[in-house]
Structure 1
Amino acid sequence: TPTAWWYGRAMRIYFGISLLISALWLASVVFNSTNIYDSSSNAGSLQATPDSAQNSHSQAERLAFVDHIYCLNAPSKLGRKERMTELFKYMNLDAQIFNGDHFAAWLDIIDKRFEQAMIVEDDVDFELDAVTSIYKALDSLAAKSASWDMLYIGHCSMEEAQPLQNNSVVKSVHPFCTSGYVVSRSGAQKLVARFSQTSSSYALDVQLVALIKRKILDAYSMCPPVVFQRRDLYPSDDGMELRIFRLLSNSAWDKARQHVPRLANWVDPPDVEQRHPAYKHIPKWMEDSRTVH
Structure 2
Amino acid sequence: MAAFPGGLRGLQFLPLLLLLPLPPGGPRGTDGYFPEERWSPESPLQAPRVLIALLARNAAPALPATLGALERLRHPRERTALWVATDHNTDNTSAILREWLVAVKGLYHSVEWRPAEEPRGILMALGCSRPCRAFLGPHLACHVYASGPSHTLAWWPGPCALHTSSPVLHLEAFRSAVCLIFCDIVYDWGSLRAISLHHSYSRSSYPDEEGPKHWSDSRYEHVMKLRQAALKSARDMWADYIMFVDSDNLITNPDTLSLLIAENKTVVAPMLDSRAAYSNFWCGMTSQLPIPAFIPSTGMMDGYHPDFSLVPTLEVQMYVCNKEVYGFLPVPLRAHSSLQDEAESFMHVQLEVMVKYPPVQLSRFISAPSKTADKMGFDEVFMINLKRRRDRRERMLRALHEQEIDCKLVEAVDGKAMNTSQVEALGIQMLPGYRDPYHGRPLTKGELGCFLSHYNIWREVVDRGLQKSLVFEDDLRFEIFFKRRLINLMRDVEREGLDWDLIYVGRKRMQVEQPEKAVPRVRNLVEADYSYWTLAYVISLQGARKLLRAKPLAKMLPVDEFLPVMFDKHPVSEYKTHFSPRNLRAFSVEPLLVYPTHYTGDDGYVSDTETSVVWNNEQVKTDWDRAKSQKMREQQALSREAKNSDVLQSPLDSAARDEL
TM over 0.5: yes
Q: 1:184 to 1:176 in 2, by over 3 A?
A: same
1:35 equivalent in structure 2: 185
Query: Which of 183, 187, 207 lines up with 2:562 in the alignment?
Result: 207
One-letter identity of the residue aligned with 2:560: D
Query: Which of 47, 51, 60 lines up with 2:343 in the alignment?
Result: 51
In structure 2, how many angstroms separate the alpha carbons of the residues matched to 1:57 and 1:109? 31
Is structure 2 residue 489 aligned with structure 1 residue 137? yes
1:277 equivalent in structure 2: none
**Which structure is higher in RCO with an 8 Å CA cutoff and minimum separation 6?**
1
Query: Which of 181, 195, 204 lines up with 2:537 in the alignment?
Result: 181
Q: Is the contact made by 1:230 and 1:245 (CA closer than 8 Å) also made in structure 2?
A: no
2:478 equivalent in structure 1: 126
C-alpha displacement at 1:181, in angstroms?
A: 0.1
Share of identical aligned residues, percent? 20
Deviates more, 1:206-215 or 1:103-112: 206-215
Q: How many positions carry a matched residue from both structures? A: 217
1:253 equivalent in structure 2: none
One-letter identity of the residue aligned with 1:162: P
Query: Which of 137, 157, 161 lines up with 2:509 in the alignment?
Result: 157
Is structure 2 residue 605 aligned with structure 1 residue 234? yes
One-letter identity of the residue aligned with 1:36: V
Ranges in structure 2 where 5+ consecutive residues have no aligned partner: 1-150, 159-179, 191-196, 198-339, 348-368, 413-452, 570-581, 608-623, 638-660
Q: Which has the higher helix share?
A: 1
In structure 1, how many angstroms separate the alpha carbons of the residues matched to 2:503 and 2:484? 15
In structure 2, how many angstroms separate the alpha carbons of the residues matched to 1:203 and 1:144? 33
In structure 2, how many angstroms separate the alpha carbons of the residues matched to 1:54 and 1:159? 34
Is structure 2 residue 442 aligned with structure 1 residue 109? no
In structure 1, how many angstroms separate the alpha carbons of the residues matched to 2:549 and 2:585? 15
Q: If the length of structure 1 is used for normalisation, what is the TM-score?
A: 0.62
Q: 1:54 to 1:164 in 2, by over 3 A?
A: farther
Q: 1:162 to 1:50 in 2, by over 3 A?
A: same
SS in 1 for 2:584: coil
Q: Could you report, residue by residue, the CA deviation over 1:145-179 in whole angstroms, capped at 9, with x for unpaired residues?
A: 54311010010116488389896101111121111
In structure 1, how many angstroms separate the alpha carbons of the residues matched to 2:498 and 2:344? 33
Q: Is the contact made by 1:54 and 1:128 (CA closer than 8 Å) also made in structure 2?
A: no
Is structure 2 residue 401 aligned with structure 1 residue 89? yes
In structure 2, how many angstroms separate the alpha carbons of the residues matched to 1:226 and 1:74? 23
In structure 1, how many angstroms separate the alpha carbons of the residues matched to 2:402 and 2:636? 21
Q: Could you report, residue by residue, the CA deviation over 1:257-287 in whole angstroms, capped at 9, with x for unpaired residues?
A: xxxxxxxxxxxxxxxxxxxxxxxxxxxxxxx
C-alpha displacement at 1:25, in angstroms?
A: 2.1
Query: Which of 140, 148, 151 lines up with 2:500 in the alignment?
Result: 148
Q: 1:143 to 1:26 in 2, by over 3 A?
A: same
In structure 1, how many angstroms separate the alpha carbons of the residues matched to 2:401 and 2:636? 23
Q: Is the contact made by 2:345 and 2:481 (CA closer than 8 Å) also made in structure 1?
A: no
In structure 1, how many angstroms separate the alpha carbons of the residues matched to 2:554 and 2:507? 24
Q: Is the contact made by 1:109 and 1:185 (CA closer than 8 Å) also made in structure 2?
A: yes
In structure 2, how many angstroms separate the alpha carbons of the residues matched to 1:153 and 1:59? 23
Q: 1:207 to 1:60 in 2, by over 3 A?
A: same
In structure 1, how many angstroms separate the alpha carbons of the residues matched to 2:591 and 2:510? 9
C-alpha displacement at 1:58, in angstroms?
A: 10
In structure 1, how many angstroms separate the alpha carbons of the residues matched to 2:531 and 2:495? 21
2:591 equivalent in structure 1: 224
C-alpha displacement at 1:217, in angstroms?
A: 0.5
Is structure 2 residue 539 aligned with structure 1 residue 190? no
Q: Is the contact made by 2:345 and 2:480 (CA closer than 8 Å) also made in structure 1?
A: no
Is structure 2 residue 25 aligned with structure 1 residue 25? no
In structure 2, how many angstroms separate the alpha carbons of the residues matched to 1:54 and 1:106? 35
In structure 1, how many angstroms separate the alpha carbons of the residues matched to 2:585 and 2:516? 22
